[in-house]
Amino acid sequence: MRITIVGTGYVGLVTGACFAEMGNDVVCVDIDEDKLDRLRQGIVPIHEPGLDRLIEENTAAGQLNFSSHLADALADTQVVFIAVGTPPHEDGSADVSHVLTVARQIGETMVSRVAVVDKSTVPVGTADRVEETIQAALDERGVDIEFDVLSNPEFLKEGAAVADFMRPDRIVIGSENEDSKRLMRELYAPFSRNHDKIQFMSVRDAEMTKYAANAMLATKISFMNEIAALCDHFGVDVENVRKGIGSDQRIGFSFIYAGAGYGGSCFPKDVRALISMANDADLGGELFRAVESRNRQQKTLLMDRISEKMGADLSGRTFAVWGLSFKPETDDIREAPALEMIERLLAAGARIRTFDPKAMEPAKRALDHLDSSRITYADSPFDAVTGADALLIMTEWKNFRQPDFRRLAESLKERLIFDGRNLFDPEIVANYGLRYIGIGRNSERL
């Protein structure tokens, strides 16, 4: 099948590479010529396990191409996916202007029937606006070309996106057009061989499903963080509570880890978009507001703990920070709790020594407005610890999970670990003479 993907961001690249891997002819379209040149050379702008190999091999095989000319790509395509960004407005509502711009360009350049698929996360009703925009452009040209607009939201986890695309839990397709349904079933057949994973529904149902999925996961995280706050107050270990409720099959273990809050490009943006949609519908959205509020509080919680243990004025203090990305196996630092912590520590007078396996360069760019003389980007986790008073764990990378605690005890002046991801067992850490402050658990209750 001949496929066009508009947008070479996280979703567009993964979608294009995975479809090409299955033998389809894919053209990824973007307006950034420098980015396209780098992609043709195999230089992938994001860290996503397995993606660079897929792009390199399928580009070499001629099944994956990159272009800045949408008209050329549409000349011989059956499906065009819109995979551009939908950043939030100041009020939290999703900005779909990029989606509508692409829709207009499709209407201005299409020459034959095409299925237009919204892959971007968009508010309910966006497909209607896309259809109206394309039709208006066709009317201006005075041509009558058949097209259909579908919704096919992505459910990819950063750090496991390729695996998620290749082995999806479900494939949600919003369409009322039987021809488009047959086309999408054929396209996704290689990803649905074990059992039928395709779920057809209305376009609006599919648009809402994406938001509901992310909001549910964010709610589980904020719920567990609220429980952790109670655990701190009553001297309870939240890890035992997590195991106790997670073993209930109705709840499960996924997304019930207490921590320093969620970040990334999806959960924060999508929860705020739901709040905006609830406002527009005069429904209040109290639950979504509570999820967002708890997450905001969670990102500053460790700063409160640091102030309790070390004082509000941190002048002359040095903190090692392990982890900068919002989660492991990605270099995405958007709304990462680590960046907010670093800003707050610097504002309190502290110095920072930090290390992340993949996100150092994006973090440098994101923090370049701060006093760079007080931030050291270390070469390794223990290089970051050199001369530090205390250690903060902000991302649960695997190579942070079993450090040499004896070496940490010798290196940290205050022998203090603030664990924003509950990676360590307080009892084990205490056995090495270290003090441990986690989220809903600490060594002082032993």
pLDDT in tens, 241-296: 999 999 999 999 999 999 999 999 899 999 999 999 999 999 999 999 999 999 99
| SS3 state of residue 284 | coil
CB-CB contact of 109 with 69 (8 Å) = no
Residue 329 contacts by C-beta under 8 Å, 6 or more apart in sequence? 47, 48, 49, 158, 159, 160, 358
Residue 348: which H helix or E strand, with range? Answer: none
Packing angle, helices 286-310 and 267-280, rounded to 10: 140
| Structure token digits, residue 139 | 């009317």
CB-CB contact of 235 with 241 (8 Å) = no
**Over the chain, what is the mean pLDDT?**
96
Cα–Cα distance measured from residue 273 to residue 89, given in angstroms and rounded to the nearest whole number: 9
Among 191-195, 203-207, 264-268, 330-334, the least confident range: 191-195
Q: Which residue has the tokens 């086309």?
A: 183
Among 23-27, 155-159, 190-194, 221-225, the least confident range: 190-194
Residue 411 contacts by C-beta under 8 Å, 6 or more apart in sequence? 382, 385, 386, 388
Q: E-strand spans in 300-372?
A: 318-322, 351-355
pLDDT at 332 over 80: yes
pLDDT at 345 over 70: yes
Cα–Cα distance measured from residue 373 to residue 370, given in angstroms and rounded to the nearest whole number: 9
Q: What are phi and psi of 196, to 5 degrees?
A: -70, 110
Q: What are the residues facing 320 on neighbouring strands?
A: 353, 391
Residue 230: Cβ within 10 Å count: 12
Q: What are the residues facing 6 on neighbouring strands?
A: 29, 82
User: Vertex 420, ends 269 and 389: CA angle to 5°?
Assistant: 130
pLDDT in tens, 161-172: 999 999 999 999
Q: Residue 106's closest CA among 143, 66, 71?
A: 71
pLDDT number for residue 234: 95
pLDDT number for residue 193: 86
Q: Which of 18, 28, 231, 266 is catalytic?
A: 266
CB-CB contact of 141 with 174 (8 Å) = no
pLDDT number for residue 446: 63
The one-letter code for the residue type at 279 is N
Q: E-strand spans in 311-380?
A: 318-322, 351-355, 375-377
pLDDT number for residue 194: 81
Range 10-15 average pLDDT: 97
Q: E-strand spans in 83-215?
A: 114-118, 147-151, 171-174, 198-201
pLDDT number for residue 444: 79
Residue 105: which H helix or E strand, with range? Answer: helix 97-109
Determine whether 231 is an active site residue. Answer: no
pLDDT at 436 over 80: yes
Range 75-102 average pLDDT: 95
Among 189-198, 288-297, 305-314, 428-437, the least confident range: 189-198
CB-CB contact of 171 with 188 (8 Å) = yes
Range 180-191 average pLDDT: 96
| Structure token digits, residue 284 | 């209040």
CB-CB contact of 326 with 335 (8 Å) = yes
pLDDT-based confidence at residue 127 (cuts at 50, 70, 90): very high
pLDDT at 34 over 90: yes
pLDDT number for residue 445: 74
CB-CB contact of 35 with 55 (8 Å) = no
More confident residue, 320 or 196: 320
pLDDT number for residue 308: 95
